[in-house]
A and B are shown apart, each in its own frame.
Chain A
């Protein structure tokens, strides 16, 4: 029934081709195999972001180019809408109105929620239409039409106004009229200006059920029907024209499902029996049907719906077979293979082509020769089975002028084939005949002249004289450089009457027939202008190139060869080729080169030197091609043969997709839990993650569907990635273990042709920092304050040091200058006088009798404030100005200078007059202090020390400045020490100290208030002494040196009072002033304690109680826990094997002090933070264990061990170096036990800086000392990274 029009239609083709050909449509398929929820698709829309949505019998599908995300209404308590969706439309809010079998619902993709439109509950929705004003028109089965605002508010319900309550289709035309088609009752048309429906009635309409309405670009209204074909309604003349599937129209079916006009103004009709494309000029329809022979055709004939996305791709909704997509922007390659139904190919392995003058194509395959007529699509095969063909593999085909075809077989010699008669003549190698073919494996045949051919074999080049039937062999000759470069030939090429290009397995040979010589080209590693490979596969001259330029395809890239210069320029993958093996080269009509490689096709724009590559992702079914298996057909098509058949295409049809792709985030998951990004970002400016979300993955997609698999991406997490990450075709990014903070994730994408959306997309991400960071913020702040103080002091110290250095340098310079002048002085007496008069420094000479020579500088008199200096011994001059001790030293020193046994340089450092304090009496008898700097240098004459040159300068100013700075330095240091000192002490002890000191001072006050007679003064004095002594003792106990020193000074003053008698009230005044100062300082301390208490959760109260009532171990444990918790450590103190009852109290007190020191050390240096311990494979909680190892001869051996880092020898070395200013190489040689001993050196501590709990305390030297006093000792034993153990030896009977 349908065959007749089909054949008729085929006959039309030659004419049609003149007027416009039926475009070939190649489809991509999406079915449940690709993840679609169901294969009957009823409606398609594209949302604002660019996602495609498909309505099926079982749910909604969102497509991002890679996969489908399925949405089904599963909570029917909230919405009764079924998942069988007939129709859908997107509203202004980004929601989708879905018409289902059980009512209308609004689906919100942001939170995947369904909201029923109540009034429609339990009705059957025929269609949902979104009008251009944003309102929704909904046709309900047997219930007319509802009109809703985009918010779901009912704007109207139309039933009686309509031609029928059964509205089957809704359509809005370009005048914003709503057309409502009915079953057999005509059409109602809503006029938006009047707000009323009018009826369109015509006998033609009375017989049909309207299934589709569309206004065509030409202004007609096309009305599709079920069973009755198409009505073309011309409104102006009110005429209807019926178009049916009668063969004349070309319409494939009378059962029309949908009418669609695309952006190119083409009209498409979806029917139950195929897709129709209307040819306006011909007024006929082209049909597209399911074709078993076409692997890229429609998947089915039953089509429900058609949609065009923003990129211009057509999406065809199929009944039962999912979706077919046609992208007009996609490059189309036609693939021929042996498997397709009715294929003309006997094998998929294709070697050679020839296009005959009559349009027939001769194709040499691995399985014989096929002769294909593209017009009739008929073919016939010639092979060894159906003909005398000697071999089935035909590597090359040539036609001579007489019309004979010459076939190069791969093992069956040379074959002459007569296409008309089918006659075959074979020329084989005959080892006995030297004029026969040299080898039966042929590669190429090339015309030579009217009577001969070039025949290339794997064993040399033959000149075949077909008139004489003789072969003449040309081969490589080892003796001649001008012979063929290799006998294994791959191809022959000649451009006009130029040289013959012979591509071989070992170089390119250019044969000059006139001279009968070969010019050979080989790869030369050292010559960049040589050919890129010795395996030369193909050669081509491009029409637009100069006569002497050739393109040479090799196994290592493409070469541009200049015949005149003999130079090659190579192009490889580095220049953009997909692969370096160039099997064949063709030129298209635009002058572009096309290369078949081992990895797809490549187009080269020669002028731009740009390569555009095509592979399986572009629709190639074959990406591995055969050598020289290509042809440029007369119609402009290029055919390339490979191992999977033939790839055929028209290069001009390959356009560039200019659509800039929109980008969307398709998924954001933490581990494998998905985050609703859209709904989060709808209400918040960023995605908040927690520190514990250690792994997250972001998936994104360029919503451009021309060829989604070739869309490319680059992304970057700002705040983490410094550069863009080129993700290639990969559309996801993962991140792990990011630090807390703010980030921005950015992604940009390109379409299949590399057109980028540079603006891209960004998502701000915030990762909450770990909680402990914030808790420790306070701790960090304290440390910072301390560090700040230390830093400040350090800066000051450096400044002072620098200043001192500068001063020193100044003096050195001056001395040098002076000495230089001294030399000159000897030369000229006149000059000497002038200089001596003018130099600022005091300058003089001493003879061996220590007398000052008369030639001294004038300044000396000013400096020493003495005018009678000449010829006097220096000691006399200095007498009264310096101390006696200094004078003695000076005497010794100057004498030493005259002894040449001592090194001068060495002696210089002993100079006692270096910056000496001198005292001068002024006229008014007051005293002036001056600091003078004397420098002495020996004068050696005839190997004997004959005298001393001396310089003296007044450095008072510098010195005082230095002192001032030193004082500041000392003060800062003290302040820091004081502060640190306090911080080391447990708060409750400090409080106790403060309280008791205040008690004592208050007590003194009470006594003082009650002392009104002199008789009371001695008691007061005694009490002051007792109180002060108590405070001092307590201060010392807590290492509060500052207070101890202060009290000590007051004590000294008050002690003097005791000796005085009688005492008067005024004697006490200075002491009271001091006591007042002490009180102020104690108040300061109190404030500091209070501040500290705020930071410490464990304040005075409980600490005090526990400290008092518990035994040694309990105290230690509390102490350890407290310090550990404040340092962020975890520690458990074990002491099961340590019994205290038989240890005398005195020894116990010693042990307590020692243990406290050791616990401090363990926590400051040993026990690692829990994270570090975990990494090292240790328990997070560190262990300190105290045990009695043995007790013998009243000696107690106690083992104290922690499982921390052990002694850190590197730090010990470092410390040792800085302490003694020796270089490290020395200590490198020390053994570990030797280094371990260093910790017992006085004042040694390996912590870089004194922090809250270490760096003070008594120090390991004192521990050892104290134990020595008890007849014991302490030894250390450690394994780095594992433990540190102290063995404490103590005598139980020793009385200190």
Chain B
């Protein structure tokens, strides 16, 4: 499967982080289906157009990232969720992985890190 057939959604409340991931995604020619700045927006967007891979900020003001994760998995069980969280918040990251997140990226990160992580998961989507 070529990259442009892999649909990606970015969920983050920080516009900077959103942009960085967004650039990383488009640079590698993935298909960006949308970005959301909060959980509710994310779920709405995901319902409309379920992505293959979602980068999800675990600490967002409106709705807890873990709740969003559960919703996403309900809608599409094989969605590959990359959890974005602060390094110090290990428990939440572990919790997210237990709940079904496939990878996690600790903040701060580089564009390359995002691209590598997405690449690994993209291979699984392809399979």
Contact = CB atoms under 8 A, between A and B. Distances in A.
Given A903-B120, A906-B103, A1241 B91 contact: no
Contacts of B23: 1226, 1229
Interface of B: 14-17, 19-20, 23, 87, 90-91, 93-95, 97-98, 102-104, 106-108, 110-111, 117, 120
Interface residues of A, number: 26
A1241 B104 contact: no
6 contacts: A892-B97, A910-B90, A910-B93, A1219-B16, A1220-B108, A1241-B14
Given A1216-B16, A1222-B111, A1241-B15, A896 B97 contact: yes
A906 B101 CA distance: 13
B90 A1221 contact: no
B110 A912 contact: no
B69 to A, nearest CB: 15
B73 to A, nearest CB: 15
Given A903-B103, A903-B120, A1241 B90 contact: no
B110 A1222 contact: yes
A885 interface: yes
A912 B120 CA distance: 25
Given A906-B103, A910-B90, A1238 B15 contact: yes
Contacts of B110: 1222-1223
A1051 B56 CA distance: 40
Given A896-B97, A909-B87, A1237 B111 contact: no
Interface in A1217-1267: 1219-1223, 1226, 1229-1230, 1234, 1237-1238, 1241
A901 interface: yes
B6 to A, nearest CB: 18
Given A903-B103, A906-B104, A909-B87, A889 B94 contact: yes
Interface string A887-905: 0010011001000011100
Interface in A768-789: none
B99 to A, nearest CB: 11
A1261 B78 CA distance: 37
Nearest to A896: B97
A889 B90 contact: yes
Contacts of B87: 909
Contacts of B90: 889, 909-912
A260 to B, nearest CB: 94
B85 to A, nearest CB: 10
Contacts of A893: 94
A1222 B94 contact: no
A1222 B103 contact: no
Given A896-B97, A1230-B19, A1241-B16, A902 B108 contact: no
Interface of A: 885, 889, 892-893, 896, 901-903, 906, 909-912, 1216, 1219-1223, 1226, 1229-1230, 1234, 1237-1238, 1241
A909 B106 contact: yes
A912 B93 CA distance: 11
Contacts of A1237: 15
B20 A901 contact: no
Contacts of B95: 892
Contacts of B20: 1220, 1222, 1226
A651 B24 CA distance: 86
Candidate in B97, B98, B117 with the most chain A CB atoms within 10 angstroms: B97
Given A902-B97, A912-B94, A1226 B15 contact: no
B67 to A, nearest CB: 19
Nearest to A1237: B15
A909 B90 CA distance: 8
A910 B15 contact: no
Q: Which residue, of A885, A912, A1226, has the highest number of chain B Cβ atoms within 10 A?
A: A1226
Contacts of B106: 909
Nearest to A1230: B19
Contacts of B17: 1220
A903 B123 CA distance: 14
Contacts of B108: 1220-1222
A906 B83 CA distance: 12
Nearest to B124: A901
A805 to B, nearest CB: 15
Contacts of B19: 1226, 1230, 1234
| Among all A-B residue pairs, the 9 with the closest Cβ atoms | A1221-B108, A892-B94, A910-B90, A1220-B16, A1222-B20, A889-B94, A910-B93, A892-B98, A1226-B20
Given A902-B103, A1222-B108, A885 B91 contact: yes
A1223 B120 CA distance: 23
A912 B16 contact: no
A892 B94 CA distance: 7
A1216 B108 CA distance: 12
B104 A1222 contact: no
A1216 B107 CA distance: 14
A1221 to B, nearest CB: 3
B57 to A, nearest CB: 13
Contacts of A912: 90-91, 94
B111 A910 contact: no
Contacts of A889: 90-91, 94
Given A893-B94, A1219-B16, 9 more contacts: A901-B102, A903-B120, A906-B104, A910-B93, A910-B104, A1222-B16, A1222-B20, A1223-B111, A1241-B16
B82 to A, nearest CB: 10
A1002 to B, nearest CB: 43
Contacts of A906: 103-104, 117
Contacts of B104: 906, 910
Contacts of A1229: 23
Nearest to B101: A902
Contacts of A1221: 108
Residue among B19, B23, B87, B111 with the most chain A CB within 10 A? B19
A912 B97 CA distance: 14
A288 B90 CA distance: 112
B9 to A, nearest CB: 20
A299 B20 CA distance: 92
A317 B85 CA distance: 100
Contacts of A1238: 15-16
A1222 B114 CA distance: 12
Contacts of A885: 91
A910 B16 contact: no
A1221 B113 CA distance: 13
Contacts of A902: 97, 103
A379 B126 CA distance: 116
Contacts of A909: 87, 90, 106
Contact of B94 (A901, A903, A910): A910
Contact of A1226 (B91, B111, B117, B120): B111
A1229 B22 CA distance: 12
A1216 B19 CA distance: 12
A238 to B, nearest CB: 116
Nearest to A1222: B20
Contacts of B15: 1237-1238, 1241
Nearest to B17: A1220
A1230 to B, nearest CB: 7
B46 to A, nearest CB: 22
A1220 B84 CA distance: 13
Contacts of B98: 892
A1222 B107 CA distance: 10
Nearest to A1221: B108
A1220 B93 CA distance: 20
A231 to B, nearest CB: 110
Contacts of B102: 901
Nearest to B106: A909
A855 B27 CA distance: 50
B116 to A, nearest CB: 9
Nearest to A1244: B16
Contacts of B97: 892, 896, 902, 910
Nearest to A1216: B16
B27 to A, nearest CB: 10
